[in-house]
Structure 1
Amino acid sequence: MLLTSRRLRAALLAVASASLVGAVLPAPVPLGIGDPLFPHLGNPGYDVLSYDIGLTYGGDNSEPLEAVTRIEARAAQTLEQVNLDFARGTVRSVEVNGAHAAFATTGEDLVITPAKPVRRGTRTVITVQHTSDPVGDASDGGWVRTGDGLAMANQADAAHRVFPCNDHPSDKAYFTFRVTAPKGHTVVTNGLPAAKPRAAKGTEGAEGAVVWSYRTSHPMATELAQVSIGTSAVLHREGPHGLPVRDVVPAADAKTLEPWLKKTPAHLEWMEKRVGRYPFETYGVLVAAADTGFELETQTLSLFERSLFTGTGRPEWYVESIMVHELAHHWFGNSVSPRSWSDLWLNEGHATWYEALYADQERPLEQRMKAAYANSDAWRRAGGPPAAPKPSQPGQKISIFRPVVYEGSALVLYALRQEIGAEAFETVERRWVREHRDAVAATSDFVELSSEVAGRDLSGFFRSWLYGPTTPPMPGHPDWRSAAPEGPGKQR
């Protein structure tokens, strides 16, 4: 095999790096912050402040992208080694504060040994030259290969299959994207343009390539990152308060999809009336020519599979309620992110709650909640209670997204409204998204706020509803019953 001089230097550096690590420090090991559901996800000892991610797409979505990820972080302790989450790519080289650093990969961690230890309290810049491979098991997440390019689906733990990062929602950061793509392709990412598209220069890409730059105005969890590359149309409209709304769709589908897309400003107004002003700088719908089996609330640009809008048999109210579900996540899950993945019920329970409220005229809320109550004990037995879900099955990481964190968690919110009254409940909702905006929060924070608003201790109420093996009696509906499971591991 013939190596270019650049690749040869990178290969020699990698060999030297691995040797240095083995000679000076114990063998590198994967670390984690001890998340109950993903114990090896995230890394201790530092706080990421920003990511600057450069990607070069050559036009073939089965070929690795050349990439550079620049991470600015503040050290919370002195670090002789720095772990990043990274898989599904080849590391070319690593620099820490401009100096070459040794590195090795183990498990799904990239372990970096700087020339000098990173001192506590200092700001540190880590630059990783690497590839980003879009080919892999689609169920693992990361890149989604579409009919005309690529998009991202990083929930719950797949951002590190695209770029090196501290891949846990508790460590939010600002993002800048610089993506080079062939002429004729359109690139849209989270946030708003940081500059006008420009012709690539030098080694940035092939002749005729274009560089697209975007930047977020609010911190973001890695699992919410989005980069869309394709022969796309970008459709602009205005939302409440002049909010820029941009939709990204396959160009050939723009006319077909417009009846759905034009509904978004009204959806935004509907949500704002219930929880307050939209929390980000822009919003829009990203329609992917791919069969994903899910929709996803990537920040400022929600991902939808095309078949949701073009398929037959789905009533209009149902499709709109799914659009509202993903929009609601921008308050619940995106702006207010979970402290741990066991707090997922706060994301999905709230999104399902507003989805159900929006569809109330067609499918009455009380009827839907009564049906959820009937299944709740079976859901708890199969997946654990809402705030203490069972870990995912081996090889099925997204299996934490079970009915108990959707309908079962919306049922908890319905019970809370029944317990404290509609007015107090609405106060909790508005204060929750206002007081934790751009931050992370845990179940305990929600319990504390609800108790404060109600004027009494609700810890016992929440203990039963969030952690109990069986569903408590529903306030105001003593006649509701939850059907018992029909044996071990089964649910009705």
Structure 2
Amino acid sequence: MPLTPRRPRPRHLRAALLVAAAASVVAAALPAPVPLGIGDPLFPQLGNPGYDVLSYDIGFSYSGDNSKPMEAVTTIDAVSTDALERINLDFARGTVHGVEVNGRPARFASAEEDLVITPETPVRPGEALRITVRHTSDPNAALDGGWVRTTDGLVMANQADAAHRVFPCNDHPSDKAFFTFRVTAPEDVTVVANGVPVAGERQGTRIVSTYRSSHPMATELAQVSIGRSAVLHREGPHGLPIRDVVPAVDKDKLEPWLAKTPGHIEWMERQVGRYPFETYGVLIAGAETGFELETQTLSLFERSLFVRPEFPAWYIDSVMVHELAHHWFGDSVSPRTWSDLWLNEGHATWYEARYAEEFGKRSMEQRMRAAYALSDGWRAAGGPPAAPRAAEPGQKIGIFRPIVYDGSALVLYALREEIGTKAFERLERRWVRDHRDSTATTADFAALASRISGRGLSGFFKAWLYGEKTPAMPGHPDWHTQAPKRG
């Protein structure tokens, strides 16, 4: 039987086949997926090179059971900064169902705590990217950050490197972006997130709540509260909207503390200028976390802070001010690397101590003298303020040591003694104004301090921020350090 003659393929079909074949050869030639990072001194594999995230749009579907994984969709708008054959995202503790890049299906694989995506065609420098990941988000997997299960729902605690245990992202504070959260939950569940509500849509017995941020945000500051909560509204300085989120059963008990927030904001504005975001609020969770957290526009607190009788009022007030102060120092002005953490915690501790002195009669000088005595021991245990040692394996929040709190506030005290109160206050205001909605480094702070004081301060900062031993305190020759404890 004679063979049927083959018709020549159309030219465009032959071209498409050639492109597909070439792409197949390139894909086959790529090495196995590997995790990447941007080389942060404390978290070298955190973050990813080659692109800049502009925005996140993240959807969660909550069933009402905080022990079950949620279905989720994360859409990332970004721009490439390099040619990329693969795109790495930080993501762990979830199952990925599918990935698209610019509307086309993409292959993907996991490599340690990275999701490695291979788009159909390599990405060119300067190319706009829309990456869509369909995945689960598992509250049971949050052993070292991410989702925190509360008595009636969930909240987030992503500092320092746990946002990628909740959603795929470029999980490093140097890549801030705008956020939108869309959470579908039963109608009897309250959802609140960073920013302000922009929509609420009913779907049968479920509500889709949408929140959007007006300012860029680091991934570690993301917050979504899901639970049987009361949302209490009040007005702050200059008409600032304040919304507090508390367990519904505790709203009357907690109201005296919540009512203090407008005054806290007024006090902080007198120190450093206008509050930098579109809203603020206190989120009180029924969970034992062991910490409070400055999630952007909605600070997270443990319920126990406000109900345990052993905590005096001045202490609770000062802790509330600490997290509020972070909205200038850490949230609006974010650290370029995690070694710049002292700029966050040192400043928040500074204003916490200032507030306690003014309203609680707790002497700042006595607190700083006590910190000075312990400072050499803190440096020996964790490194100097601007060159902290990495945490032990499995103890990633171990970077939050005394040296970055009172040990770093001590640096600010020494700086005020060195350059004078007026120059120091100008420095604080200029710092948060010049770097608003961006990131900054220790070198940036030192340079600004030198310009404002009219003096070269490189020697001062080298000794105070990088020295193994605590320098002499300006103006206090009678202050002495204690020998570090061994063992």
| TM score, norm. by length of structure 1 | 0.93
Shift of 1:24: 3.8
Structure 2 residue matching 1:212: 3-state secondary structure:
strand
Rounded Cα–Cα distance in structure 1 between residues aligned with 2:243 and 2:29: 52
User: Which of 135, 138, 144 in structure 2 is aligned with 1:130?
Assistant: 135
Shift of 1:77: 0.7
Larger radius of gyration: 2
State the AA in 1 paired with 2:273.
Answer: G
Rounded Cα–Cα distance in structure 1 between residues aligned with 2:206 and 2:174: 36
Rounded Cα–Cα distance in structure 1 between residues aligned with 2:49 and 2:436: 24
Structure 1 residue matching 2:121: 3-state secondary structure:
coil
| TM score, norm. by length of structure 2 | 0.94
Contact 2:142–2:165 (8 Å) recurs in 1: no
Structure-to-structure mapping, 1:178-327, within 5 angstroms: 178-195=182-199, 197-200=200-203, 207-327=204-324
Structure 1 residue matching 2:56: 3-state secondary structure:
strand
Q: Which residue of 1 aligns with 2:39?
A: 34
1:103-160 Cα deviation digits (max 9, x unpaired): 000100000000011110111100000000001253x100000000000000000000
Contact 1:179–1:212 (8 Å) recurs in 2: yes
Structure 1 residue matching 2:34: 3-state secondary structure:
coil
State the AA in 1 paired with 2:164.
Answer: H
Q: Which residue of 2 aligns with 1:433?
A: 432
1:220-249 Cα deviation digits (max 9, x unpaired): 000000000001100000000000000000
Rounded Cα–Cα distance in structure 1 between residues aligned with 2:69 and 2:467: 46
Q: Which residue of 2 aligns with 1:92?
A: 97
Rounded Cα–Cα distance in structure 1 between residues aligned with 2:433 and 2:444: 13
Shift of 1:357: 0.1
- Say yes or no: does 1:60 pair with 2:104: no
Shift of 1:21: 9.4
Structure 2 residue matching 1:259: 3-state secondary structure:
helix
1:285-315 Cα deviation digits (max 9, x unpaired): 0000000100000000000000000111111
- Say yes or no: does 1:443 pair with 2:449: no
Contact 1:21–1:113 (8 Å) recurs in 2: no
1:177-214 Cα deviation digits (max 9, x unpaired): 1000011001000000112x2112xxxxxx41110001
Structure 1 residue matching 2:315: 3-state secondary structure:
helix
State the AA in 1 paired with 2:426.
Answer: T
Shift of 1:173: 0.1
Structure-to-structure mapping, 1:333-482, within 5 angstroms: 333-361=330-358, 362-482=361-481
Structure 2 residue matching 1:363: 3-state secondary structure:
coil
Shift of 1:363: 1.2
Contact 1:172–1:222 (8 Å) recurs in 2: yes
Contact 2:149–2:155 (8 Å) recurs in 1: yes
Q: Flag the 1:56–1:469 CA change in 2: closer, same or farther, 3 A.
A: same
Give the aligned length.
462
Structure 2 residue matching 1:360: 3-state secondary structure:
helix
Structure 2, unmatched stretches of 5+, are 1-23
Rounded Cα–Cα distance in structure 1 between residues aligned with 2:65 and 2:214: 31
Structure 1 residue matching 2:263: 3-state secondary structure:
helix
Rounded Cα–Cα distance in structure 2 between residues aligned with 1:384 and 1:218: 33
1:18-69 Cα deviation digits (max 9, x unpaired): x999734100000000000000000000000000001100011111010000
- Say yes or no: does 1:143 pair with 2:147: yes
Contact 1:21–1:104 (8 Å) recurs in 2: no
Q: Which residue of 2 aligns with 1:107?
A: 112
Rounded Cα–Cα distance in structure 2 between residues aligned with 1:20 and 1:87: 30
Contact 1:20–1:102 (8 Å) recurs in 2: no
State the AA in 2 paired with 1:214.
Answer: Y
Rounded Cα–Cα distance in structure 2 between residues aligned with 1:413 and 1:318: 21
Q: Flag the 1:142–1:406 CA change in 2: closer, same or farther, 3 A.
A: same
Q: Which residue of 2 aligns with 1:72?
A: 77
Rounded Cα–Cα distance in structure 2 between residues aligned with 1:87 and 1:394: 17
Shift of 1:485: 1.2
